[in-house]
């Protein structure tokens, strides 16, 4: 089993921000989400942004496997960004980073 868990997530701010959310603000928002739900213990969990697409506001996050449920739930329950409504969409999760490259739901065999 892997020591880490990987999440492919995107942030949708409603109404859409004029300026895109930078990688630094994205990670800060994720860490605030953890702190709000789980306090200082949640804020101390290491979460890494491995890849970030500023146009789509989509990231690949890595966290310790034992903290996966905390991270997922804190993102699911977060509903505000800078006074605006927001929602995190979790597209895929996996204990293996390579698994995020493909999606069995959209795969077509030629």
Q: Print pLDDT tens along the chain (110 aa).
A: 789 999 999 999 988 767 789 999 999 999 999 999 999 999 999 999 999 999 999 999 999 999 999 999 999 999 998 888 999 999 999 999 988 877 666 666 66
pLDDT given for residue 63 in this prediction: 97
Residue from 11, 23, 66 nearest 48 by CA: 23
pLDDT given for residue 108 in this prediction: 63
pLDDT given for residue 70 in this prediction: 97
Domains of the chain, CATH where assigned:
4-96 (3.30.70.3250)
> Distance between CA atoms of 91 and 104, rounded to whole angstroms?
12
* Residue 60 host element (H or E): strand 58-64
> Distance between CA atoms of 74 and 80, rounded to whole angstroms?
12
Residue from 95, 64, 107, 83 nearest 15 by CA: 83
> Distance between CA atoms of 84 and 47, rounded to whole angstroms?
24
> Which two tokens mark 4?
């880490």
pLDDT given for residue 2 in this prediction: 86
Residue from 64, 65, 86, 68 nearest 77 by CA: 86
> Distance between CA atoms of 95 and 31, rounded to whole angstroms?
20
pLDDT given for residue 5 in this prediction: 97
pLDDT given for residue 35 in this prediction: 96
7 close to 96: Cβ distance less than 8 angstroms? no
């Amino acid at each position: 089993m892997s020591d880490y868990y990987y999440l492919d997530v995107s942030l949708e701010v409603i109404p859409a921000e004029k300026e895109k959310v930078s990688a630094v603000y994205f990670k800060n928002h994720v860490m605030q989400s953890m702190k709000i739900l789980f306090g200082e213990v949640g804020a101390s969990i290491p979460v890494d942004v491995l890849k970030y697409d500023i146009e789509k506001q989509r990231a690949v996050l890595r966290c310790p496997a034992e903290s996966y449920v905390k991270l997922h739930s804190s993102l699911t329950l977060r509903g505000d960004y800078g006074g605006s409504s927001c929602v995190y969409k979790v597209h895929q999760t996996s204990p293996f980073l390579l698994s995020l490259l493909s999606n069995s739901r959209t795969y077509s065999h030629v």
